């Protein structure tokens, strides 16, 4: 159970939205807030010290991914990395067609829609099944019609946890000479990727999803591919992402990423055990409850479960859960706090009347067995959820 200053006894089950920082990460960042403050682009000793720390962080992350350090570009997080990959490919590589899925994060769908609206690209949105999976034959057909496209298909879905077969998608992209971007924001730290062998050209990361700081991430760009930058300026990050690097955050991200790889198996086992226990409890207490998205645990990100509860539903379900001490998440909320629904659930066939009963719970490494009891009691206290 996590405590916060404002909410002393709350249960935090929204780790897919953000994770608490690991204290070991914070310890490693501390000197870079106060003592080691130079600008890594300066040539004097203060600058050189920071340049070393920066390049060391790049090497540490690269080692976890089995890739050359200079293929990693530090950014402000997942949103910027996704935008940079997509806009950078259109502006720098002459991409004229994009193939994606309608259940991608908005950091992917919105730049693609903007490019389409501006008449700069045409777009194929692949159909998705009730489990959130795409049909690889559909992808193949689209690539046959549009070779040399950019394919943007995430690794793990942030709302329903569905994992795509990144290797199979990448191999098909290679056959048709297409660039492949995968938003790996939700999977990095939970799934080990070997970028030396994986047929992917761009992947995106965000440190606050793996117990690192917020506002920092990276974009991997396969060696030899020249994306166009979105900003111009001081030439940092080999001109692809100019701007003085956020050193404390980058150091923290490197530490968090290393820890995630060292502890991956134990963390995943812990989160999946909690998820299994949670699902058993839900089936006992709320007969008729269903899972949204992938039900095969081997094709779902550890610790994430999206459910629709039986009963009439509660348009304020997340708000009421919050009042009952549980932080979870669902579709976007309007200003009154009512759940408006989610584009992901909509595209996998969840009906609009089911949206007010749909909730995403995401366990983390700090989640505990005690949390399950609290969430059970909180759910039971929402009387609108009783089976009608």
Ligand X SMILES: Cc1ncc(COP(=O)(O)O)c(C=O)c1O
Select from 77, 111, 252, 302 the one that contacts ligand X (CB under 6 A): 77
Stretch in the footprint of ligand X (CB under 6 A) among 170-178, 180-188, 279-287, 292-300:
180-188
Cβ nearer to ligand X, comparing 71 with 79? 79
Query: Per-residue x/- marks for ligand X, 123-152, CB under 6 A?
Result: ------------------------------
Provide the H-helix boundaries in the chain. Answer: 23-29, 31-34, 45-65, 78-93, 106-117, 136-145, 166-175, 247-262, 264-285, 317-323, 343-347, 369-381
3-state class of 188 per DSSP? strand
Shortest Cβ 205–ligand X spacing (Å): 8
Q: From CA 331, how far away is CA 359, in angstroms rounded?
A: 8
Q: Is 334 annotated in the active site? A: yes
Site for ligand X in 78-97 (CB under 6 A): 78-79, 82
Q: Which of 22/82 has CB closer to ligand X?
A: 82
Sign of CA dihedral 260, 342, 281, 290: negative
Q: CA–CA distance from 217 to each of 32, 77, 93, 234, 289 (Å)?
A: 17, 4, 23, 19, 36
Torsion sign across C-alpha atoms 276, 277, 278, 279 = positive
- Number of alpha carbons in the 13 Å side-chain half-sphere of residue 180: 25
- Cβ proximity to ligand X: between 186 and 320 the closer is 186
**Interface residue with ligand X, options 40, 217, 252, 330 (CB under 6 A):** 217
Our finding on whether 282 is near ligand X (CB under 6 A) is no
- Report DSSP state, residue 201: S
- Near ligand X by CB under 6 A: residue from 51, 97, 105, 146: 105
Q: How is 308-364 classified by DSSP, letter by letter?
A: E-SSS--TTHHHHHHHTTEE-B-SEE-TTS-EEE-HHHHHTT--GGGGGGEEEEE--
Site for ligand X contains 378 (CB under 6 A): no
Q: Does 183 bind ligand X (CB under 6 A)?
A: yes
Q: Give the shortest CB-380-to-ligand X separation in angstroms.
A: 29
Beta carbon nearer to ligand X, 15 or 320? 15
Q: Does 186 bind ligand X (CB under 6 A)?
A: yes
CA distance linking residue 327 with residue 324, whole number of Å? 9
User: Closest-CB residue for ligand X?
Assistant: 78
Identify the active-site residue in 64, 173, 300, 334: 334
Chain contacts with ligand X (rule: CB under 6 A): 77-79, 82, 105, 107, 154, 158, 183, 185-186, 206, 217
The catalytic site residues sit at: 334
């Amino acid at each position: 159970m996590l405590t916060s200053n404002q909410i002393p006894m709350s249960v935090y089950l929204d780790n897919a939205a953000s994770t608490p920082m690991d204290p070991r990460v914070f310890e490693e960042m501390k000197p870079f807030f106060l003592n080691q403050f130079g600008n890594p682009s300066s040539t004097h000793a203060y600058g050189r010290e920071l340049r070393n720390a920066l390049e060391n962080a790049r090497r540490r992350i690269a080692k976890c991914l089995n890739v050359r350090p200079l293929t990693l570009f530090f950014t402000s997080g997942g949103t910027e990395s996704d935008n940079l990959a997509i806009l950078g490919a259109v502006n720098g590589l002459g991409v004229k067609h994009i193939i994606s899925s309608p259940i991608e994060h908005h950091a992917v769908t919105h730049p693609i829609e903007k490019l389409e609206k501006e008449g700069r690209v045409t777009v194929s949105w692949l159909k998705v099944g009730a489990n959130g999976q795409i049909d690889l034959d559909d992808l193949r057909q689209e690539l046959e019609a549009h070779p040399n496209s950019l394919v943007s298909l995430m690794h793990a879905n942030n709302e329903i946890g569905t994992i795509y077969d990144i290797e199979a998608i990448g191999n098909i992209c290679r056959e048709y000479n297409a660039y492949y971007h995968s938003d790996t924001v939700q999977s990095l730290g939970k799934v080990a990727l070997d970028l030396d062998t994986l047929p992917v050209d761009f992947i995106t990361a965000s440190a606050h999803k793996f117990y690192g700081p917020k506002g920092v991430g990276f974009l991997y760009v396969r060696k030899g591919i020249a994306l166009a930058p979105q900003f111009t300026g001081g030439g940092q990050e080999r001109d692809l992402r100019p701007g003085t690097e956020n050193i404390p955050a980058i150091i923290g991200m490197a530490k968090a990423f290393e820890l995630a790889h060292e502890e991956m198996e134990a963390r995943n086992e812990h989160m999946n055990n909690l998820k299994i226990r949670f699902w058993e409890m839900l089936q006992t207490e709320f007969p008729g409850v269903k899972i949204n998205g992938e039900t095969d645990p081997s094709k779902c990100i550890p610790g994430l479960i999206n459910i629709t509860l039986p009963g009439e539903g509660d348009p304020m379900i997340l708000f009421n859960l919050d009042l009952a001490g549980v932080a979870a998440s669902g579709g976007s909320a309007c200003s009154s706090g009512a759940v408006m629904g989610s584009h992901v659930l909509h595209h996998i066939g969840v009906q609009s009347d089911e949206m007010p009963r749909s909730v995403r719970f995401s366990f983390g490494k700090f989640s505990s067995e005690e949390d399950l009891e609290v969430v059970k009691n909180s759910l039971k206290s929402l009387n609108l959820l009783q089976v009608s």
